[in-house]
Structure 1
Amino acid sequence: MSVLELALAEEGRSAHEALAAVVSSAQQAKRLGFRRVWVAEHHRYRSVASVAPAVMSAHLAAKTSGIRIGSGGILLTNHAPLVIAEQFSTLAAVHPGRIDLGIGRGPGTSDINTVRALRRGADQATHAEYRTSLVELLEYLAHANEARVLTGADTAPQPWLLSSSVAGAELAAELGLPLAFAHHIQPGNTLEALGRYRDRFLPSRWCQTARVLVSVETLCAPTEAEAAYLSRPALLAMAAALARHGGDATLPSPAKAAAHSLDPEVEDRLAQLRATQAHGTPQTVQRRLSTIAAQTAADELMLSTPVYDMEARTRSLALVAAASTA
């Protein structure tokens, strides 16, 4: 198992506190035996402080030892491939054998003006443009391009392709990349996408056999009631995202979220989505994770825990780890 961190921006707390909590989460993940910690790239979401995964990956790698660190993921359409190759090749040289480069194409923002600012006036990239940039990046990492990336580099970050769609899974198969699938975002696509990936996988220098990581929203607490209470702030943030204004608020406390009602139709839709994830007591969460692992034949599960308060998040990781070894 591994951990995905968004650096949640909690109401009433600073960016320093949000990012310090990610360090605590990574250190806890290392102590508990988790394999890797990834940080996301999102822009102008007030509930997320993870905007610069290369910077945060460097910080986490310096603050931990042994555990793998990386991006989950770099949104390649926002960046020049050479810049990403230079940044993560440098990280891999400083921390050999520990750096992952998760690559995706999601917008990381719901605001078209932010997209254009990141892309120097261009609209969101097409699938063809994304594929071209991805191939270029892989060539840099393999030192196949004439442009010098990092003199004397004798190690490279491990590239992963992130996807929540069938098309993304097919691209990972075509390029021979390990696949990280966002089950926590598009659970309805998971089984079809993974089937296509495994059927079409072509071995490459990066991966000889199909390798699958599945991300799951996971919240573990001593009781079902407490798990539901702690999950309410993220539920409200999800409802805001569905209403197309997900960047408008920081994550409220559970007490404040408990007083906020949702439209019954929205509540039901979110309950159906949450039922595909892993929430509840250690026994419930372990059962759900085992079911997802069996259904997907995943090599690895990556846990995303969108919970207000760092202590509640790290306790959730500890409860899951204890249940998995019981």
Structure 2
Amino acid sequence: MVEIPLSALEVAMVQTGTRALETLRDTGAFAQELERLGYHRIWYAEHHHSPAIGAFPPVVLAAHAAASTSSIRLGSGGVLAPNHAPLTLAEQFGTLAALHPDRIDLGIGRGPGTFDEGIARALRRGAGPTTDEEYRDDVAAILSFLVDEVALGPLPQPWLLASSPAGAALAAALGLPVAVAHHIRPENTGAVLERYRAAFTPSRWCERPRVLLCVETVCAETEEEARRLVGPMDVVKAGLLKGISDIPFPTPEEAAAHVFTEPERAALAGFRSRQAVGTPETVVRRLRELAGETGADELMLTTPVYGFAERVRSYELIRKHYGA
């Protein structure tokens, strides 16, 4: 069986009992470990004002990791266009691509990266939520600036992040490869892919539809250990279901003591059934199922678990059982 590439999304969870500085230091070691294991790329997400996720700019993390690795691709997954001037993003990622040729990706997303309206407005210098037309113009401007103003050599590979058919339609219209946020809105994945493939227009960036599917993935030697590892993220998700976004990322022991309501348990179980959690055999089987069901060209794994060693071990087990 020919396996499609495996990659990773680094969300940079700040664990209870640790400092954001420790999370930041771990990102470099994480990149080195995944390069050693043979993963194809690592993307860094943009988040702000969260006790559970570090507010680390993706372009800075990508530059830091690129300096200590030699082959793995690096980039944003994604940098949020409404929070930045298009020319600034083009300059930042264009420079990074010139310093590390053929290794840099520019994954572009739309969301604010925060649930705090005050922080969102601060990021946008007082402006409100971006409209569909403004977002399209921002993405088009970034692409134009990359080519016309920045081009220092090899360009970064642009991607568009999508969790809805509207995002898929924009990626298709601009001829960009699409990264589908199955780890956030798995219920939308089918509609996203259908819209993208039906409307895709070839461009200088991509000749045919190209799909990366991001999946929440937690792997351990036993099912019991895998369930223990997903506990902290379950607590965070349960808070989000109630509109509470300021919950710290707890320890597995704290998560085990957390009392979930029955509706929360049902919602979490439903979400987890669409991801990949369990032993290596279970996880690899599920990843292959998702690849087959979606026709994805690449799978990107995100593993929000407590403990650096446990997170690396999850990727190691998957790589070992998935194949070289």
1:62 aligns with 2:67: yes
Corresponding residue SS for 1:142: helix
Measured in 1, the distance between the counterparts of 2:309 and 2:91 equals 35
Match of 2:314 in 1: 316
The residue number in structure 2 matching 1:80 is 85
Find out whether 1:105 has 2:106 as its counterpart.
no
Instruction: State the alpha-carbon separation in 2 of the partners of residues 210 and 65 from structure 1.
Output: 28
Match of 1:13 among 10, 18, 28: 18
**Alignment of 1:177 onto 2:176:** yes
**Counterparts in 2 of 1:109-128, with a 5 A limit?**
109-128=114-133
Gaps in structure 1 of 5+ consecutive residues: none
Q: CA 1:182 to 1:159, structure 2 compared with 1: closer, same or farther past 3 Å?
A: same
After TM superposition, give the deviation of residue 43 of structure 1 in Å: 0.5
Alpha-carbon distance between aligned partners in 2 of 1:235 and 1:41, rounded to the nearest angstrom = 21
Query: Which residue is 1:243 aligned to?
Result: 242
1:257 has 2:255 as partner: yes
Question: Counterparts of 1:130 and 1:244 in 2: how far apart (Å)?
Answer: 25
Deviation at 1:50, TM superposition (A): 4.2
1:274 is matched with which residue?
272
Q: Is the 8 A contact 1:173 1:200 kept in 2?
A: yes
Q: 1:73 to 1:307 in 2, by over 3 A?
A: same
- Contact preservation (8 Å) 2:31, 2:42: yes
Q: Deviations over 1:233-263 (max 9, x none)?
A: 00001111222222x2321110111011111
CA distance in structure 1 between the aligned counterparts of 2:25 and 2:265, rounded to whole angstroms: 32
**Structure-2 separation of matches of 1:71 and 1:111:** 22
CA-atom RMSD in angstroms: 1.0
2:49–2:55 Cα contact (<8 Å) kept: no
Match of 1:216 in 2: 215
Output the CA distance in 2 between the equivalents of 1:132 and 1:274. 36
Q: Match for residue 307 of structure 1? A: 305
CA distance, structure 1, for counterparts of residue 318 and residue 291 of structure 2: 14
C-alpha distance after superposition, 1:17-50 (max 9, x if no partner): 1012222221111111110000000111110014
Where 1:172 maps in the other structure, the secondary structure is helix
Deviations 1:61-120 (A, max 9, x none): 111110000000000010100000000011001101100000000121111111100011
Deviation, 1:203, is 0.5
Give the equivalent residue in structure 2 for 1:129. 134
Q: Report what 1:286 is aligned to.
A: 284
Task: Name the counterpart of 2:3.
Answer: none
The match for 2:191 is: 192
Contact 1:176 1:207 in 2 (8 A): yes
- Residue of structure 1 equivalent to 2:150: 149
Shift of 1:51: 3.0
Q: CA deviation at 1:149?
A: 3.0
Query: Could you give the per-residue CA deviations for residues 283-326 of structure 1, whole angstroms, max 9, x where no partner exists?
Result: 00011100000000000000000000000000000000011018
For 2:300 and 2:271, the matched residues in 1 are separated by 17
* SS across alignment from 1:218: strand
SS at match of 1:90: helix
Q: Is contact 1:110–1:244 with CA below 8 Å preserved after alignment?
A: no
TM-score of the aligned structures, taking structure 1 as reference length: 0.96
C-alpha separation in 1, matches of 2:316 and 2:61:
23
1:75 & 1:257 partners in 2: Cα distance?
Answer: 31
* Equivalent residues of 1:39, 1:70 under 8 A apart: yes
Q: Would you say the 8 A contact 2:214–2:300 is kept in 1? A: yes
Q: Does 1:26 align with 2:31?
A: yes
SS of the residue 1:169 aligns to: helix
In 2, are the aligned partners of 1:184 and 1:216 still within 8 Å (CA)?
yes
TM-score, normalised with respect to structure 2: 0.97
Task: Name the stretch that deviates more: 260-269 or 48-57.
Answer: 48-57
Conserved? CA contact 1:233–1:253, under 8 Å: yes
1:38 aligned onto 2:43:
yes
- CA–CA distance in 1 between the matches of 2:312 and 2:50? 23
